[in-house]
Amino acid sequence: MVQVRQLLRRKGHAIWSVDADEPVLEAIQMMADKHVGALPVTRGGDLVGMVSERDYARKVILLGRSSAETPIWQIMSTPVVTATPDDGVRQCMQVMTERRIRHLPIVEGGRMVGMISIGDLVRVVIEEQDQTIEHLERFIAG
């Protein structure tokens, strides 16, 4: 079973985050620039929430708030669901499915060391299945 640590080695450890007191517009701009659907929210370097395109749609647009005037902390999702580098990919998929989230900060020793998405996990599972199929085909072919 593939662990998150292995996934992060392949994917990289880049983390983009936003400060809780910044305006929502800053988070939306960063998501667009980085081509991501969610960002960790920090305050003083500590992880305090997550903000996603879904949060923006439901808590800013639908409520008629201003993206430039609303601070991120007012719309972020809390508490933050996290995983560790030692967690398994399938375990993370289960957590994300149960909690209905698409992004998972990876925390080790009290600090964020990476971020994974449901797409990252699906990609790993497909790769595992492809390898199993290839192995079985070689075994059958003798």
What pLDDT digit, counting tens, does each position of 37-89 carry?
A: 999 999 998 999 999 999 999 999 999 999 999 999 999 999 999 999 999 99
Is 17 within 8 Å of 42 (Cβ atoms)? Answer: yes
Answer whether residue 3 shows pLDDT above 90. Answer: yes
User: What are the start-end ranges of the E strands in the chain?
Assistant: 18-19, 38-43, 46-52, 103-108, 111-117
Q: Where are the alpha helices (DSSP H) in 89-117?
A: 89-99
- What domains does the chain contain, in order, with CATH numbers? 4-141 (3.10.580.10)
Q: Which residues pair with 17 in a beta bridge?
A: none
38 Cβ contact partners less than 8 Å away, ≥ 6 residues apart? 31, 50, 51, 52, 53, 102, 103, 117
Is 24 within 8 Å of 73 (Cβ atoms)? Answer: no
Answer whether residue 142 shows pLDDT above 80. Answer: no
The model's confidence at residue 22, banded by pLDDT at 50, 70 and 90, is very high
Please write the tens of the pLDDT for every residue from 80-135: 999 999 999 999 999 999 999 999 999 999 999 999 999 999 999 888 887 888 88
Give the pLDDT confidence score for residue 36 in this predicted structure: 94
Question: Which pairing describes strands 103-108 and 38-43: parallel, antiparallel, or unpaired?
Answer: unpaired
